[in-house]
Amino acid sequence: MTPHATRRTVLLTTGAVALAVGCGSDGGDGDGDGPSPDSGGPGQVLAATSDVPVGGGTVFKDAEVVVTQPAEGDFKAFSAICTHQRCLVAEVANGTIDCPCHGSRFRMTDGSVERGPATRPLPAERITVEGNSIRLG
């Protein structure tokens, strides 16, 4: 009698474990899908396209981003943090993005160094132009 009782106990236990695992998997899949829609949302509106002059650019100090428009409708964005010693660039003039601290200049078309002491380009930032709005991301 004792061996039979032992075998039933083992079988019941195994069945219970299988059910628990099944329920856990279903619940996990549901939770995993939740955050996905948030990550695909539009980014923050940075500016209107009219805020960025054709053949020039604008420094958005709060966002630490500089947006240029080398040709009409062709918008570029870069980090506004100078790669020399991390000053905020001040302005876009005569085709370059200018740092006031030690005089580095970066080309408004691709962020590359036109004049040192900086040796590395301004990193590009991702923007999306939607109608008259420029969004980050």
Distance CA 67, CA 136 (A): 10
Task: Tell me the window of 1-9, 36-44, 59-67, 99-107 that interacts with ligand FES (CB under 6 A).
Answer: 99-107
Rule CB under 6 A: say whether 112 interacts with ligand FES.
no
* Residue of 85, 109, 132, 133 interacting with ligand FES (CB under 6 A): 85
User: From the CB of 24, what's the least distance to ligand FES, in Å?
Assistant: 54
Q: Which position among 67, 79, 104, 111 is part of the footprint of ligand FES (CB under 6 A)?
A: 104
Task: Find out whether 77 and 125 touch, Cβ atoms under 8 Å.
Answer: yes
Among 51, 63, 87, 135, interactor with ligand FES by CB under 6 A: 87
β-pairing, 96-98 vs 105-107, is antiparallel
Q: Which two tokens stand for residue 63?
A: 């966002």
Handedness of CA 72, 73, 74, 75 (dihedral sign): positive
Q: Does residue 92 touch ligand FES according to CB under 6 A?
A: no
What is the strand order of the sheet 133-136 is part of?
45-48, 133-136, 127-130
Quote the least distance from Cβ 116 to ligand FES, whole Å: 8
DSSP code, position 120 = S
Q: Report, in Å, the least distance between residue 60 CB and ligand FES.
A: 17
Q: Are 112 and 77 in contact (CB under 8 A)?
A: no
Interacting residues with ligand FES (CB under 6 A): 82, 84-85, 87, 99, 101-104, 117-118
